[in-house]
Structure 1
Amino acid sequence: MKLDKLLERLDYTVVQGSDSTEVTTLINDSRKVEEGSVFVCISGAVSDGHKYAADVAAKGAAAVVVEKDVEVPDNVTVIKVEDTRYALALMSAAYFGYPADKMKVIGITGTKGKTTTTYMIKSILEETGHKVGLIGTIEAIIGDKKIPSCNTTPESYTIHKYFAEMVEAGCDCVVMEVSSQGLMLHRTAGIPFEIGIFTNLGRDHIGPNEHKDFDDYKRCKGLLFKQCKLGIANVDDKYFKDVFKGSTCKIETFGFSPEADLRAENAELVSRPGYLGVAYHVAGVMDFDVEIDVPGKFSVYNSLTAISVCRHFQVPVEMIKDALKKAKVKGRIEMIKVSDDFTLMIDYAHNAMSLESLLTTLKEYNPKRLVCLFGCGGNRSKDRRFEMGEVSGRLADLTIITSDNPRFEEPQDIINDIKTGIAKTDGKYVEICDRKEAIKYAIEHGEQGDVIVLAGKGHEDYQEICGVKHPMDERVLIKEVLEELKEK
């Protein structure tokens, strides 16, 4: 294909060579360059692609796309753009034949609720015969194929590659999580979102290699609502107006507020042996009763979000109700049966906002004790550790502090930071660095009527230590612990 075809939606300058140069592949990883490739030089947090311009030329690259000056042989075309990440996104769309234009793309942004809501929407739409692709924190789903995720929102090239495979598989819709990082780094630039969704906003992802401050975090979330036709928003969130400042889309709202276009009324907790759920009445632009097999107020928000979207696909009410019953998400309040005496669950809550929401919800069901086991990731903001320690110390009857992806830090140093947060409360705690031993302690000391939460790992099936991801799935650890206790 000709280079100018890939550049057709971009402003650019031809520094050297010709934009009608014939190219074979679009690449942004210098190791994958082959004869005839066009290489996009990305300035990353770890490495700068511009440094490899001469190397890729030597490998046979036909062209390089840059935002800085580079030196390459005269036979290599050099295209200069303002932002190479943005260029990669639009070039990727062109490279794969604009697959997003052939589906209805639904994007969800917010601090929490994104993952659960994507699965709810997928479940409901599939009830009515739509074929729905999914891209998110846990995995990408393309037909029967599931691809584990590295990022909530993948690099733009990967997104369009998935989109193209979805079109090939017969998908007419795709629902995807859109992270603030993804928006900031232009991974979703140029995607024609049919619907953009705002769930909520809390202080997260602020620190090294993330967002410089909360205002930047808010601003990036709002970018989605400048590239979608319809924005659906949680009107109860205090940052709703900030996020939608400067939006260019039509706006609809959901929530508990009387102002919401779609609202929840008469919400009540549902508790039966081995079951925690919530029921409420849907009012406003729709009118029906619904029960969700996941506890708490945030389950109401997640389901309202899904209903708000599916209303625009004319999904019948009974199908919505049935699909909401079936939608289950790995690692999101995932109940694991271990005893008739107490309840054990796995949840991805890995920041103060999500942990507080989870623990507050579970306390409303009046457990005998609320036990919270968690750790914090290494090489991330220390504030998260202090805040999560304080939240668990304040809300849980017992906190079990353990390890969670220490990365390049000493696990004990992270535990000590968590203890600094707990020290601000009167909360009881024990510290057991080895996560399996910590889980064993929780199960062994479980009492009748307890609710025990293993927080932070959720769907993850690894433990990252010194740059290496070691296999570690809490479901496997629980099974091993139960077998060991049986042998005692």
Structure 2
Amino acid sequence: MIKLGDLVKVLGIERDEKNFDIDISGIAYDSRKVQKGCLFVAITGFKEDGHRFIESAINNGASAIIVEKDVKVASIPVIKVDDSRKALAKLSAKFYNYPSKDLTVIGVTGTNGKTTTTYLIDSILKKLGINTGLIGTIKNKIGDKEENASRTTPESLDLQRIFSEMLESEVTHVVMEVSSHALELDRVLEVDFDRQVFTNLSQDHLDFHQSFEDYLKAKTKLFQLNENPSIINIDDKRSEYIIQESLGEVLSYGLNNKADIMAENIQVTQKGVSYKLKLGDKSIDTKLNLTGRFNVYNSLAAIGTVYSLGYGLKEIAAGLEEIEGVPGRFQIIDEGQQFGVIVDYAHTPDGMENVLNTAAEFTKGRKIVVFGCGGDRDRKKRPIMGRIGVTLGDFAIVTSDNPRSEKPMEIINEIEVGIKNEGKEEGKDYIIIEDRATAIKKAIDLANPEDIVIIVGKGHETYQILKDKTIDFDDREVARDAIRARGES
């Protein structure tokens, strides 16, 4: 509970009127979640405008309203601001008494690898006996309690609530994914980050950002929030710009360029990777139960982060070995069949390329790839992913992903442009099956011993978003059912 007048001081608003001497019991940006005594913040969104729901918020018990447009309301205080998203972030932090200041908050950003890197950092910290919190694409974890995640980085109000709950649960360290959307839309404004991590940058989200340069600048904002140390992948060609713009000390990691933290003698198998970790004059043999060179990068990011917090390499390596896998990230589906099946979240050209190149390192037979592209998202990457699917895979099945408001076949046709540009023939090099479950079943039926079926795009997701509804759908379960139906389990 806080007085409205005290709360809005964070917006630079000083009011002594009687109607500002009212108690605010909560904040909401969704009118359906407004309760008696709430402050309602009207946000101009991309699909809905919160200003349209002011009357609903008042009917539900709102005591005051924050707006960025002129509205006519006579019954309760209305406060106009230039940017209601920034206002929401500042008000939320104040309402929950700035909880991130009492936590060690680690933010991880990049196109690919955010989820795995956060899981690795979390695993290491847990092994060190630290009570951790995790915020990201798959789920939010507060100690041993879990809740489903609706987006990679929660809205600022939800984020501050989660931080507050973490403090109440005696969490001390929080590892969180930080999306470019969150940085651009001020969701992490007022978050007190202690470490910032950059994994990599490749084409994605160009439906939201005006250009790749804008995407880069959005990511870079994380490294301009404070002067605390940053852990940066020096092998990524955009790292030079991020390092130049970073306000704090930089700890670099990489495989190809000279870095503070490096991996040598890398050995990749289907079940994991091993390498010699080098940090200055220190070295240690490291094992990881996740495979692929891209996971070597993710593990180096995790190692650098925890090392920068003052922990030793031996303790850190022990924590890395604890993690058995990350849901939907190069997840092996094993029902006793004679061929391999892997499900991965890769939904960008770079991510898909990493997965297929990794599979090539241990696959003796064919790589059968099942993939599509999401609707209402960056259309430019569709032909690129089509090209990757048929050049790095031996046979491709192009299907639907999360089509959202678009027609699945229109998305597939744009993917097929990249396939045809490579001179590939339908029926010989690839086929099109619009229904995703049927496509996965076909891939399983086509597999011979020593082949590997690679299903990319949805990973851990347990749903499929169609134009008029969202249905239950899990690539992993569909693949398991197809294997059992084939009679090899």
Structure 1: unaligned runs, 5 residues or longer: none
Q: For structure 1, which segment, 58-67 or 339-348, has the greater mean C-alpha deviation from structure 2 after superposition?
A: 58-67
C-alpha displacement at 1:22, in angstroms? 2.5
Whether 2:315 is the aligned partner of 1:319: answer: yes
The 10-residue stretch of structure 1 (401-410 or 116-125) with the greater mean CA deviation from structure 2: 401-410
Give the partner amino acid of 1:156: S
Aligned: 1:164 with 2:164: yes
61 and 257 in structure 1: CA distance in 2 versus 1, 3 angstrom threshold: same
Paired with 1:181 and 1:165, the residues of 2 have a C-alpha distance of: 24
C-alpha displacement at 1:56, in angstroms? Answer: 3.2
1:140 pairs with 2:136: no
Check the 8 A contact 1:222/1:245 in 2, yes or no: no
What is aligned with 2:151?
151
Say whether the 8 Å CA contact 1:142–1:169 is kept in structure 2.
Answer: yes
Q: Secondary structure, in 3 states, of the residue corresponding to 1:399?
A: strand
Maintained 8 Å contact 1:5/1:94: no
Residue of structure 1 equivalent to 2:68: 67
Residue number in structure 1 paired with 2:201: 201
Q: Contact (CA 8 Å) 1:393, 1:399: kept in 2 or not?
A: yes
Give structure 2 stretches of 5+ with no counterpart: none
AA of the residue aligned to 1:410:
K
Q: Which residue in the other structure is 1:106 paired with?
A: 106
Task: Show the counterpart of 1:222.
Answer: 220
Conserved 8 A contact 2:135-2:153: yes
Deviations 1:112-156 (A, max 9, x none): 000000000000000011011000001101122221111101111
Cα drift, residue 321 of structure 1 = 2.3
| Cα RMSD after superposing both structures | 2.1
What per-residue deviation string (whole Å, max 9, x for no partner) do you get for residues 208-237 of structure 1?
xx1111111111101111124121111111
What is the percentage of aligned positions where both structures have the same residue? 39
- Superposition map of 1:15-414 within 5 A: 19-73=20-74, 75-207=75-207, 210-228=208-226, 229-269=228-268, 271=269, 275-285=270-280, 286-327=282-323, 328-414=325-411
Amino acid at match of 1:320: I
In 2: Cα distance, 1:54 partner to 1:444 partner: 56
- AA paired with 1:126? K
* Partner secondary structure for residue 264 of structure 1: strand
Taking a change above 3 Å as real, the CA distance of residues 250 and 467 of structure 1, as seen in their structure-2 partners, is farther
TM-aligned CA deviation for residue 64 of structure 1: 1.4
1:255-292 alpha-carbon deviations (Å, 9 max, x no partner): 124531111222232x3xxx342222111344211122
TM-score computed with the length of structure 1 as normaliser:
0.93
Deviation at residue 240 of structure 1 after TM alignment? 0.9
Residue 454 of structure 1 corresponds to which residue in structure 2?
455
Q: Would the aligned equivalents of 2:337 and 2:483 in 1 still touch at CA under 8 Å? A: no
Q: Distance in 2 between matches of 1:461 and 1:215?
A: 33
C-alpha contact 1:333 1:346 (8 A) present in aligned 2: yes
CA distance in 1, matches of 2:430, 2:488: 28
Contact 1:17 1:77 in 2 (8 A): no
Asked if the contact 1:15/1:79 (under 8 Å) is kept, the reply is no
TM-superposed CA distance for 1:448, in Å, is: 2.3
The one-letter code sitting in structure 2 at the alignment partner of 1:284 is L
With structure 2 as the length reference, what TM-score do the two structures score?
0.93
State the Cα distance separating 1:172 from its structure 2 match: 0.4
- Does the CA contact (< 8 Å) of 1:377 and 1:405 recur in 2? yes
Cα drift, residue 345 of structure 1: 0.7
* Stretch moving more, 93-102 or 317-326: 317-326
Contact residue 288 and residue 317 of structure 1 kept, 8 A:
yes
Which range moves more in the overlay, 149-158 or 48-57? 48-57
- Residues 337 and 488 of structure 2 are in contact (CA less than 8 Å); yes or no, is this contact kept in structure 1? no
2 CA distance for matches of 1:164 and 1:393? Answer: 48
Distance across 1 between alignment mates of 2:408 and 2:390: 19
CA separation of 1:487 and 1:237: change in aligned 2, threshold 3 A: closer
d(CA) in 1 for partners of 2:484 and 2:265?
44
AA at the equivalent of 2:452 = V
Contact 2:125/2:306 (<8 A) preserved: yes
User: Are the aligned partners of 1:11 and 1:81 in contact in 2 as well (CA < 8 Å)?
Assistant: no
Question: Contact 1:182–1:188 at 8 Å: present in 2 too?
Answer: yes
**CA contact 1:14–1:78 (8 Å) conserved in 2:** no
Change (3 A) 1:127 1:116: same
Which residue is equivalent to 1:479?
Answer: 480
User: What SS is found at the alignment partner of 2:301?
Assistant: helix
Shift of 1:60: 4.0
Instruction: Give the secondary structure class of the aligned counterpart of 2:160.
Output: helix
Question: Matched residue of 1:287: which SS?
Answer: strand
**TM-superposition CA deviations, 1:279-307 (whole Å, max 9, x none):** 22111344211122222211110000010
> Whole-Å Cα distance in 2 between the matches of residues 383 and 16 of structure 1?
54
Q: Is the 8 A contact 1:108 1:177 kept in 2?
A: yes
From the superposition, tell whether residues 447 and 131 of structure 1 become closer, same or farther in structure 2 (CA, over 3 Å).
same
Matches of 1:318 and 1:284 in 2, distance apart? Answer: 12
Distance, in Å, in 1 between the alignment partners of 2:42 and 2:451 is 54
C-alpha contact (below 8 Å) 2:116/2:329 kept by paired residues: yes
CA distance in 2, matches of 1:7, 1:265: 54
Partner SS state of residue 304, structure 1 = helix
What is the CA-CA distance between 1:487 and the residue it aligns to? 9.8
Aligned twin of 1:424: 421
SS at structure 2 position matched to 1:326: coil
Deviates more, 1:123-132 or 1:221-230: 221-230
Q: What secondary structure sits across from 1:403 in the alignment?
A: coil
1:483/1:55 CA distance change after superposition, 3 Å: closer
Q: Using the alignment, how far apart are the partners of 1:467 and 1:164 within structure 2?
A: 36
